[in-house]
Structure 1
Amino acid sequence: MTRDASPPPTRPVLATLPAYRAGRLPEPVPGLTAYKISSNENPYPPLPGVLAAVHAAAERMNRYPDMANTALRTALSNYLGVPMEMIACGTGSVAVLGHIIDAMCDAGDEVIYAWRSFEAYPIAIALAGAFSVQVPLTPDHRHDLHAMAASITETTKVILVCTPNNPTGTIVTDTELRDFLAVVPPRVLVVIDEAYLEFGTDPEAPDALAILRDHPNVVVLRTFSKAYGLAGLRVGYAVAHPDIAEALRMTATPFGVNLVAQEAAIASLAARDDLQVRVKELVAERDRVEAALAEQGWVLPPSQANFVWFPLGEQTPDFAAACEEQALTVRPYASDGVRATIGESAACERLLEITAAWRARAATEEVEPAAAVPGP
């Protein structure tokens, strides 16, 4: 040990980073089966054929994966109908997001996004030395694209549009997004983050790939973690103009998407018919939960994702604690609200029992629950 036992100082920005908090595991409660709906995980096991692909790939894990993700990008190219030169992969869409910020932003540049939205946005931006410009959601928990457009400055490099939005579940419509892009300078990159795309049923949702064909300053960001059920393997991708996609591959960690993950993603794309069955079942369960909540008296933003949003305000911690008492973990967001994933039917039933009790208690105490939004 040297005379100075202190390590070298780390970057000051680390002390200012917001903490990314993963969904907590439930604490055991006697007599109750515990359920975790605090992370937007798919409750189903891997799709048919995926485990066999994983086992076969595991036998080759002594070898490096294909750094260019050639087979995966080829499969995505065939699936999406775009040239593989437009595709860049990473360890989940959150990693690809980081590649985007690294490729586009120098220190001092600005990135605009709605808030509240995906928690990783401010972290990736700060690590790149850029500045976050957070634009509040509208009262009905949607992106305020007019305010976002008005926030563009000479130093704006990237705009992030999460649709369906995490954690509120609301979408930006195709018309809204196209009108927005008409006023965004071509020098600004607009990222359409579609992590929950597969769960959407709204016909007004954007056709992001069609929008990309018309706007070379658009990037479409997607993941295998949610609908495909590969959250534990970490595979995401971007579709972009070939020059942007090449820049994303340059900023990616070499060999980042491991061999097993690549094979699992390819097998998942091949099982698209089975995927549709599962997605329809999850969407039906989401619709059932939303209808039951409405019957109880809750007025929540309509979700196009695999979760529902309770804008509880200051009651957020109390509601999360009430769920924990019943061996159910949800995702609280400070004093903004609670996100609850659509998981197993039994978990959803537990949630509905808790929400019914919450409404009944509020009625008894003559306190109106905070989770209400204006009507359309």
Structure 2
Amino acid sequence: MRAATCKGFISPAVFSGVRLDKNENPFDPPPGLIEELRLSLSSLELNRYPDQEAGTLRSAIAMHCGFPAEWISVGNGGDELLLYLVMAFVPYSGCLMTLSPSFSGYDHISRALGVRTRSVSLGFDGSRVFLDEEKFADAISAASPDLILIDRPNNPTGLTISVDLLSRVAGLTKGILAVDEAYVEFGGGSFLSEPEKLPPKVFVLRTFSKAWGLAGLRVGWGVSKPDLRNRIEKIRPPFNVSVFSQEAARVALGYSEWMRARAKRIAFTRDRFIEEANRIPGWRALSGSGNFVTLYSRGPVEPVRTAFDKKGIRVRFPEMGSLSEYPGTWVRIAVGLEEEMNAVLDTIKDLSGRL
């Protein structure tokens, strides 16, 4: 593939206010996990390269998800596995298919690699975002994509495409279907709920960054049949996940009950926020099953941006792709602590009479 000039991700300087712009977990890891890592650090051979197969971690993930270790891929964050998927399955003259809008990382990867992309537009009726399923099926038939990347739920809209529809898509496409389930622990069901039904041309992506609250480690993982995984392994460099990250992710899997409890609490806060935001005149909070909520207002963006800046609340004004044709303002809010979400509600209440 041909590399292309593109704008990279820019990480802002350290910020001391309320950070709700990156869909991070607002809770610190449990003290027991931190203590286990502290104790294990002295035994890690940091002068040695990591296990290039991540065998111990893959076995632990297999125990966690119920799939064989031979089906598990591990990456330096989910983004790295997405990169390998495009490199492995989209040839020079091939086609990548996504939804519009969707996770910005897909566009970043496709531009960096010079890959031709076909996007299927989502619709908006003023209160909800939707996908025209027949239009989607027609687009697949017309474009014959080599790889379809679907984030579930969709980021930034929160739309969750049904597993039944994705199963249909897997049967329609001649290429690979990659389902990005980075937010699956917060609700919406999973493509991995029935191991025996995973189609041979499907890759399902997971991460330790969201529900597990370990974004700083950069560990992602995925499940696919061995033939598909072997294609990815031909692309992957040998030491892509560090010694410490492999050990930390392995230890974290022992705290799955803590993770599920925190994910449930975040989902509760999300649902309460959506209910409260939809009572505020001039605003619409889109339903979703991730750890974020996207707000829509017909008013201009600059007063909204200014109001959040003055309150010291960092939020995301996402690229909305096909939905940009709807005039107004789109704001994506990561679900934070309850007091942080109340501060967001106060901010949009103050704005409601001025937009």
Matched ranges for 1:231-242 at <5 A:
231-242=215-226
CA distance in 2, matches of 1:142, 1:263: 41
Shift of 1:45: 0.9
| Equivalent residue in structure 2 for 1:295, among 263, 279, 288 | 279
Query: What does residue range 254-333 of structure 1 map to in structure 2 within 5 Å?
Result: 254-297=238-281, 298-312=283-297, 315-333=300-318
Report deviation, 1:283: 1.0
Report the 3-state secondary structure (helix = DSSP H, G, I; strand = E; otherwise coil) of the residue aligned with 1:109: coil
Deviation sequence 1:18-64 (CA, Å, 0-9, x none): 543557765x7xxxxx2111111111111343223432453322221
Q: Distance in 2 between matches of 1:281 and 1:317?
A: 32
Give, in angstroms, the shift of residue 115 of structure 1: 1.1
- With over 3 angstroms needed to count, the CA separation of the structure-2 counterparts of 1:119 and 1:135, relative to structure 1, is same
Conserved in 2, the CA contact under 8 Å of 1:65 and 1:258? yes
Partner of 2:204, secondary structure, is strand
- CA 1:345–1:199: 2 relative to 1, 3 Å: same
Which residue number corresponds to residue 4 of structure 2?
A: 13
Alignment of structure 1 residues 63-74 onto 2, 5 Å: 63-74=48-59
**CA distances 1:67-91 after superposition (whole Å, capped 9, x unpaired):** 1010110011111111111110001
Matches of residues 99-178 of structure 1 in structure 2 within 5 Å? 99-139=84-124, 140-152=128-140, 153=142, 156-178=145-167
Task: Answer with 148-157 or 259-268: which moved more.
Answer: 148-157
CA contact (8 A) 1:37 1:343 kept: yes
Please give the residue correspondences for 1:219-238 in structure 2 after superposition, counting only pairs within 5 Å.
219-238=203-222
Give the number of the structure whose alpha-carbon radius of gyration is greater.
1
Aligned residues of 2:28 and 2:213 also touching (Cα < 8 A): yes
| 1:92 positional shift | 0.8
Which residue in the other structure is 1:198 paired with?
Answer: 185
For 2:236 and 2:108, the matched residues in 1 are separated by 17
Aligned pair in 2 of structure 1 residues 53, 105: CA closer, same or farther (>3 Å)?
A: farther
CA–CA distance in structure 2, aligned partners of residues 37 and 158 of structure 1? 31
Letter paired with 1:351:
V
**Quick one: structure 1 residues 143 and 22, their matched pair in 2 at CA, closer, same or farther if it must change by over 3 Å?**
farther
Whether 1:39 and 2:22 are equivalent positions in the alignment is yes
User: What is the distance in 2 between the residues matched to 1:306 and 1:326?
Assistant: 22
Report SS of the residue matched to 2:217: coil
Q: How does 1:208-227 map to 2 (within 5 A)?
A: 208-210=192-194, 213-227=197-211
Q: Does structure 1 conserve the Cα–Cα contact (< 8 Å) formed by 2:208 and 2:249?
A: yes
C-alpha distance in 2, partners of 1:225/1:131? 29
Instruction: Give per-residue Cα distances to partners, 1:319-354, cap 9 Å, x unaligned.
Output: 222101111010112574211111122211110110
Q: Aligned partners of 1:305 and 1:113: how far apart in 2?
A: 19
Any idea what the Cα deviations from partners look like across 1:116-153, whole Å, max 9, x if unmatched? 11001012123333211111112132444433332234
TM-score where L is the length of structure 2 = 0.88
C-alpha change, 1:25 and 1:168, in structure 2 (3 Å) is farther
- 1:288 deviates by 1.5
* Unmatched tracts of structure 2, length 5 or more: 325-329
Aligned CA distance change for structure 1 residues 316 and 150 (closer, same or farther; 3 Å): farther
Which of residues 329, 336, 341 in structure 2 aligns to 1:343?
336
Q: Counterpart in 2 of 1:371?
A: none
**Same amino acid, percent of matched pairs:** 28
Which one-letter code corresponds to 1:350 in the other structure? A
Would you say the 8 A contact 1:192–1:220 is kept in 2?
yes
Q: 1:23 to 1:358 in 2, by over 3 A?
A: farther
Task: For residue 222 of structure 1, give the secondary structure of its aligned residue in structure 2.
Answer: strand
Name 1:366's counterpart in structure 2: none
Contact 1:114 1:161 in 2 (8 A): yes
Q: Identify the match of residue 353 of structure 2 among 360, 363, 373.
A: 360
Distance 1:112 1:213 in 2: 23
2:26–2:337 CA contact under 8 A, matched in 1: yes
CA separation of 1:258/1:162 partners in 2, compared to 1, >3 Å: closer, same or farther?
Answer: same
Report if aligned partners of 1:160, 1:193 keep a CA contact under 8 Å in 2: yes
- Relative to structure 1, the CA distance from residue 317 to residue 53 in structure 2 (aligned partners, 3 Å threshold; closer, same or farther) is farther
Q: CA RMSD in A?
A: 2.2
Q: 1:49 to 1:267 in 2, by over 3 A?
A: farther
The 1-side partners of 2:11 and 2:299 are apart by: 21
Which moved further from structure 2: 73-82 or 142-151? 142-151
Distance 2:190 2:301 in 1: 31
| SS of the residue 1:302 aligns to | coil
Query: What one-letter code is carried by the residue in structure 2 that aligns with 1:348?
Result: M
Distance change in 2, residues 1:70/1:313 (3 Å) = farther
| 1:181 and 2:164 correspond | no
Q: In 2, Cα distance between the equivalents of 1:132 and 1:212? A: 32
Q: Which amino acid aligns with 2:155?
A: N
Matches of 2:276 and 2:260 in 1, distance apart? Answer: 24
1:361 alignment partner, SS class: coil
